[in-house]
Amino acid sequence: MFNVKTMNKIAAVGLNRLPADNFNIGDAVENEDGILVRSAKLHDYNFPASLLAIARAGAGTNNIPVDKCADAGIVVFNTPGANANAVKELVLCGLLLASRDVAGGIAWVKEQARTEGVDVPAVVEKGKSAFAGPELYRKTLGVVGLGAIGALVANIGLSMGMDVYGYDPFLSVDAALRLDRHVKVVKDVNELYRSSDYITLHVPANAQTKGSVNAAAFANMKDGVRIVNMARGELVNDDDLLAALASGKVARYVTDFADNKVVLADGVVALPHLGASTPESEDNCAVMAADELRDYLENGNIRNSVNYPSVSMDRSGVQRLCVFHKNIPNILASVTGAVSKDHINVENMTNKSKGEYAYTMLDISAPAAEAALAHIKEIEGVIRVRVI
């Protein structure tokens, strides 16, 4: 029986993927083997020694101490693509909000209606030009990041009649196959900046990307560029953005990440983090997170981890050993040697690394002796050993 703690409300369709005969689920669960979480902050959470995995029902993992988990052999999962359609639709909304002052116009019309004696139709007809803006058709859209969401946005830009540039230094084969062949993929983000009337951001916030949309980036953009940020607020340098808005370099900034510094600035349209706020997205994320967590707890398979490599293997043999270790030489030989010393055959094995961390699974022909397991745990570089 696995104990799974829910740190937020997780859609029932996802929880139902964890059968009651093998999973004890709830927000009061203690000594948990797994955690299902959405937005709860876990940086100060005291992880029990029993914790094996955290599954985030969403793409971003800023609320989870990913490096700390890696050092403890705790796998952190996310759900890339599960909310892609929801975010894509909000980006389309954001592009329209960036073009025409729809939000300002709505507020102005209501203000007129609240003013005594105002003939609303007449006033609106006279004042509507203050909220006009350009069409998207035949403009150039720059998509920074061509993952699950960015690829959808690029393709929908084409369907809107836009010329689309894309940039992603880590473009995968799968992502490339999702792109329409008419998307112009460039190798230099500054080429995208120079060409685009609209720019939309779809990259994670990490050491390389935080604050990367800054004064130097704005300097390479067209005057009057319109920027949509449904990815992460930290991607944009607030001070440089305010200066770009004040100078007219940036005509409009639409963001799903309101903060005190920029939300009241002219030209900013701030949304209350609505990107994945659809029932369909919440269901998709919950199902994907639950499936990842179950497969790992029951079988040791890893899919969509942000701190360990994706490793999956069909079950064979009598027992499965899962070894978390640093990506350094000679560990595999030491692990298999500890098993074969007891004349136990390794029937199947797989190993992959991700940066400084690696993960090895061995299916063996007989249960490993406690002494052998203890020996593996003492091998230099080994972080954790699971027996399934």
Tens-digit pLDDT profile for residues 93-126: 999 999 999 999 999 999 999 999 999 999 999 9
Looking at the fold, whether 339 and 207 belong to one and the same domain comes out as no
What's the chain's average pLDDT? Answer: 95
Looking at the fold, whether 15 and 154 belong to one and the same domain comes out as no
User: For the domain that residue 289 is a member of, what is the CATH number?
Assistant: 3.40.50.720
Tens-digit pLDDT profile for residues 288-301: 999 999 999 999 99
pLDDT at 206 over 90: no
Looking at the fold, whether 254 and 385 belong to one and the same domain comes out as no
Looking at the fold, whether 146 and 255 belong to one and the same domain comes out as yes
Which residue, 308, 330, 356, sits at the end of a domain?
Answer: 308
pLDDT (0 to 100) of residue 27: 94
Looking at the fold, whether 67 and 37 belong to one and the same domain comes out as yes
pLDDT band of residue 60 (cuts 50, 70, 90) is confident
One-letter amino acid for residue 218 of the chain: F
pTM: predicted TM-score of the whole model, two decimal places: 0.84
Which residue, 255, 290, 308, sits at the end of a domain?
Answer: 308
pLDDT at 360 over 90: yes
Tens-digit pLDDT profile for residues 132-167: 999 999 999 999 999 989 999 999 999 999 999 999
Helices 120-127, 102-114: axis angle to 10 degrees equals: 150
When comparing pLDDT for 292 and 177, which is higher? Answer: 292
Tens-digit pLDDT profile for residues 264-290: 999 999 999 999 899 999 999 999 999
What residue numbers bound the domain in which 298 lies? 1-83+277-308
Looking at the fold, whether 304 and 325 belong to one and the same domain comes out as no
Residues in the chain, total: 388
Looking at the fold, whether 164 and 196 belong to one and the same domain comes out as yes
pLDDT at 69 over 90: yes
pLDDT (0 to 100) of residue 205: 86
pLDDT band of residue 175 (cuts 50, 70, 90) is confident
Looking at the fold, whether 225 and 298 belong to one and the same domain comes out as no
Looking at the fold, whether 5 and 20 belong to one and the same domain comes out as yes
Tens-digit pLDDT profile for residues 220-258: 999 999 999 999 999 999 999 999 999 999 999 999 999
* Residue pointed to by tokens 């094995």: 349
pLDDT at 42 over 90: yes
Alpha-carbon distances of 7 from 38, 132, 238, 283, 324, rounded to whole Å:
7, 45, 31, 16, 25
As given in the structure block, the two tokens for residue 44 are 């100060």
Structural domains in the chain (count): 3
- Torsion over CA: 4, 39, 202, 69 (sign): negative
Looking at the fold, whether 178 and 289 belong to one and the same domain comes out as no
Looking at the fold, whether 171 and 290 belong to one and the same domain comes out as no
pLDDT (0 to 100) of residue 204: 87
Residue 277 burial (CB count, 10 A): 15
Which residue, 270, 293, 327, sits at the end of a domain?
Answer: 270
Looking at the fold, whether 70 and 202 belong to one and the same domain comes out as no
pLDDT (0 to 100) of residue 165: 98
pLDDT at 174 over 90: no
Residue 259 burial (CB count, 10 A): 12
Tens-digit pLDDT profile for residues 302-315: 999 999 999 999 99
User: For the domain that residue 379 is a member of, what is the CATH number?
Assistant: 3.30.70.260
